[in-house]
Structure 1
Amino acid sequence: MNPAWVIHTGRLVLSPVAGGDLPDLRAIKADPGVFAVMLGGVRGYAQAADDLARDIIAWGRYGFGWWAIRETASRETASGRFAGVAGLEHRPDGRGVALRFALWPEAQGRGLAREAAFAVLRFGHDNAHLPRIIAVARSSNFGSRTILGAIGMREAGRFEQRGYDMILYESVSPPGSAISGCAWR
Structure 2
Amino acid sequence: MQLHVARGITTARLSLLPPGPEHLDDIIRLKADPRVFGVMLHGVRTPERTREELQDDIEFWTVRGYGIWSVFERATGDFLGIAGLMERPDGRGVALRYALWPECRGKGFAREAARAALAFGHAAGLPRIIAVARRDNAASVGVLTDLGMRQVLTYQHQGQEMLLFESVAPGSA
TM tier relative to shorter chain: over 0.9
Q: What is the correspondence of 1:13-92 to structure 2 with a 5 Å cutoff?
A: 13-73=15-75, 80-92=77-89
CA distance in 2, matches of 1:175, 1:107: 34
Asked if residue 149 in structure 1 is aligned to residue 152 in structure 2, the reply is no
**Identity across aligned pairs (percent)?**
51
C-alpha distance in 2, partners of 1:105/1:94? 29
CA distance in 2, matches of 1:9, 1:173: 20
The aligned counterpart of 1:76 is none
Q: Which runs of 5+ in 2 are unaligned?
A: none
Distance in 2, matches of 1:174 and 1:150, equals: 17
Match of 2:110 in 1: 113
Task: Find the aligned partners of 1:3 and 1:106 in 2 and give their Cα distance.
Answer: 31
Following superposition, the deviation at residue 4 of structure 1 comes to 4.6
| Count of residue correspondences | 170
Aligned equivalents of 2:167, 2:78: Cα separation in 1: 30
Q: Which runs of 4+ in 1 moved over 3 A?
A: none
**What is the one-letter code of the residue matched to 2:111?**
R
1:12-66 Cα distance to aligned partner (Å, 9 max, x none): 0000011100000000000001111111210001000000000000001111111
- Give distance in 2, aligned partners of 1:60 and 1:4: 11
Output aligned runs, 1:169-184, within 5 Å: 169-175=165-171
Provide the rounded CA distance (Å) in 2 between the counterparts of 1:106 and 1:163.
Answer: 28
Unmatched 5+ stretches in structure 1: 74-78
